Structure 1
Amino acid sequence: MPSDPVSTPVPGIEISLDTQTLTLFPDGASTPLSYPVSTALNGPGERQSSGCTPRGRHYVRAMVGGGVPLNSVFVARRPTGEVYSDALSRKFPERDWILSRILWLCGLESGKNRGPGVDSFRRFIYIHGTPDTEPMGVPRSHGCIRMRNKDVVDLYGRVSPGMPVTIR
């Protein structure tokens, strides 16, 4: 009797809220890559305006920022032409900095992370860069998944729209 085939991981991204890590499974043959992240200070949750990181199955709906310089500043998914610096941070202390690259997530589970009141896409949930002064490995975001700038640029170059993302 033949043995069961070994299952190969499906390409995709897994984000652990417990360990504050993002793991990329590039394809069935490559070794997974792990990056430290920072998810929501308010913890997990799917409700609109909660400031929480939504759980469940998602996919990368859009990718923004390919080719812009490291530490480029984005507002409403558009590069402002600014490059983050300490001086810029002092000038705009109220900004929630979105830097370098954006992977915009869309939920796949109706009533959980897709649809009225819980829609991850309409909540503008991203994987994005943040100032290097922000800690990784601890929840501090407003709902998004923050990464070091060099890490989000690396991740951006390894994924494509449609890639599955699971947040646990």
Structure 2
Amino acid sequence: MAERLGAAAEPVEQALVVDVSSQRLYLFESGELVGSFPVSTAERGTGNRKGSLQTPLGLHRVDEKIGADAQRGMIFRGRQPTGELAEILQGPDERAARDDVTSRILWLQGLEPGVNQGGDVDSKQRYIYIHGTPEEGRIGRPASHGCVRMTNADVITLFDGVREGALVDIIE
């Protein structure tokens, strides 16, 4: 993991590692672990192909941060706040009627041509985000449709502390 992040062309001040096997996201500042959060990656496992509903592996960066002033639980459609707040479900088997994106969006861009950048494997064109979810009770186990889901409080904390351009390595 450190080797991949250290191989970046520029010095890495801030990096996130999403570990699919442990369903955790780790935040590093200048090589030091400063945060750890439970997440939910894809219910269908890992894969980079468009339409797979899988979480893409590999090196990415936070390309855009969306929703800085949104209310906690705000539902986004097409990366725009709807004005509607989600009902937050805490039960491990509770499912929302829709796969809503809530609170904040960190839109990822793949950095590895042919792996997660370009063609039918492009993470940005697949709209792969780190985002909040109304299904908080499902955090900690695979449940998404490809994105990396977090609790609404955690995604707000992460959003506030992460800069655009931060590296994100999604690993198994």
Please classify the TM superposition score into its range, dividing by the shorter chain length: 0.7 to 0.9
- The Cα shift of 1:95 comes to 1.6
- The Cα shift of 1:26 comes to 2.7
Deviations 1:61-99 (A, max 9, x none): 00000011100110010000111126xxxxxx5421100
Compare CA radii of gyration and give the structure with the larger one.
1
1:84 corresponding residue in structure 2? 86
**Match of 1:99, SS?**
strand
* CA distance in 2 between partners of 1:127 and 1:121 (Å): 12
Query: Residues 47 and 54 of structure 2 are in contact (CA less than 8 Å); yes or no, is this contact kept in structure 1?
Result: yes
TM (normalized to structure 2)?
A: 0.85
TM (normalized to structure 1)?
A: 0.87
> Structure 1: where are the runs of 5+ without partners?
1-6, 87-92
Q: Matches of residues 129-144 of structure 1 in structure 2 within 5 Å?
A: 129-144=132-147
> Structure 2: where are the runs of 5+ without partners?
1-5, 7-11, 89-95
Q: Matches of residues 1-168 of structure 1 in structure 2 within 5 Å?
A: 10-28=13-31, 31-85=33-87, 94-168=97-171
Query: 4+ residue stretches of structure 1 with deviation over 3 A?
Result: none
User: 2:35 corresponds to which letter in structure 1?
Assistant: L
* CA distance in 2 between partners of 1:31 and 1:16 (Å): 14
1:18–1:115 distance in 2 versus 1, CA, 3 Å: same
Aligned Cα RMSD in Å? 1.8
* CA distance in 2 between partners of 1:116 and 1:133 (Å): 33
* CA distance in 2 between partners of 1:18 and 1:133 (Å): 19
Query: Residues 73 and 80 of structure 1 are in contact (CA less than 8 Å); yes or no, is this contact kept in structure 2?
Result: yes
User: 1:151 corresponds to which letter in structure 2?
Assistant: D
